[in-house]
């Protein structure tokens, strides 16, 4: 893992953007996995700004959603779907054909995970996976546990995840998560990890210890050959 110590959130976002843009200019048909939340927001804003001056590099980009809240009826503005539509898909004019997404309110969550797994097998592997570091060290909804799942799966949400601003603002409390698994993530050709937030100091400290454990899913990124970690020093 190549760790870049950035002065602040803006610097972190800019450095991540610069790294991502290099890849977008050399691969005109990339499959990008996108996380939601505060960590990647400024990066996505910079991509939206870049679209205005150079839209052609986004023309054939495909996006796959990393995860989604389950059991919420899918009609709240705090879903991952709503976030990605407003922050990324609409600004970059990503067509429906180039977007692979968990249904925000599936009638059968297991079948939905199977469908997403088939989508990855057909369109993958992921070229670039954009991740944030969860407060408890999770990636997507791959939560700390004795075991981790390799493929798309239904996830039991930790109390830490349920306290996330997205979930806490929902009228209906999420009852589960839908997420890409650890193997889906680790098979990505490149991973960009954004680390920011004053409430993540413990997770950051554990990650930097380089001890690989299922109780810190993000620690598995040390096994990947091409991870760019952009660390906001103001969060330390």
| Catalytic (active site) residue 136 | yes
Strand-pair category, 176-179 with 67-70: antiparallel
Predicted local distance difference test score (pLDDT) of residue 236: 84
Task: For 144-153, write each residue's pLDDT tens digit.
Answer: 999 999 999 9
| Catalytic (active site) residue 67 | yes
Show the beta-strand stretches assigned E in the chain.
2-6, 31-34, 62-65, 67-70, 99-100, 128-132, 153-155, 176-179, 190-195, 227-232
Predicted local distance difference test score (pLDDT) of residue 171: 76
- Active-site hit among 98, 136, 142, 184: 136
> What's the average model confidence in pLDDT over 111-121?
97
- Active-site hit among 81, 112, 127, 143: 143
Predicted local distance difference test score (pLDDT) of residue 75: 64
Q: Model's pTM, two decimal places?
A: 0.95
102 exposed, middle or buried (CB, 10 Å; 0-12, 13-18, 19+)? buried
Q: Is 111 helix (H, G, I), strand (E, B) or coil?
A: helix
Q: Is 128 helix (H, G, I), strand (E, B) or coil?
A: strand
Per the CB < 8 A criterion, the answer to whether 191 and 121 are in contact is no
Closest C-alpha to 233, from 206, 202, 204: 204
- Active-site hit among 78, 127, 138, 153: 138
Domain 2-235: CATH architecture, name and number where available: 3-Layer(aba) Sandwich (3.40)
Predicted local distance difference test score (pLDDT) of residue 22: 94
Task: For 130-141, write each residue's pLDDT tens digit.
Answer: 999 999 999 999
């Amino acid at each position: 893992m190549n760790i870049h110590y950035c002065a602040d959130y803006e610097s972190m976002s800019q450095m991540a953007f610069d790294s991502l843009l290099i890849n977008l200019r050399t691969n005109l048909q990339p499959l990008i996995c996108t996380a939601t939340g505060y960590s990647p927001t400024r990066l996505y804003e910079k991509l939206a700004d870049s679209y205005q001056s150079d839209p052609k590099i986004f023309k054939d980009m495909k996006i796959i959603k990393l995860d989604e809240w389950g059991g919420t009826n899918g009609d709240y503005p705090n879903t991952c779907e709503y976030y990605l539509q407003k922050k990324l898909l609409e600004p970059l004019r990503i067509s429906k054909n180039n977007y692979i997404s968990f249904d925000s309110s599936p009638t059968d969550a297991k079948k939905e995970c199977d469908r997403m797994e088939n989508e990855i097998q057909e369109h993958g592997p992921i070229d670039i996976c954009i991740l944030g570091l969860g407060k408890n060290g999770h990636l997507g909804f791959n939560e700390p546990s004795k075991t981790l799942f390799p493929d798309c799966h239904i996830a039991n949400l930790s109390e830490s995840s349920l306290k996330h601003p997205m979930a806490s603002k929902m009228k209906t409390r999420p009852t589960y998560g839908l997420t890409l698994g650890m193997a889906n993530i680790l098979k990505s050709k490149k991973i960009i990890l954004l680390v920011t937030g004053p409430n993540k100091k413990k997770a950051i400290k554990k990650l930097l210890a380089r001890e690989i454990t299922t109780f810190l899913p993000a620690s598995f990124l040390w096994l990947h050959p091409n991870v760019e970690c952009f660390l906001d020093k103001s969060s330390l």
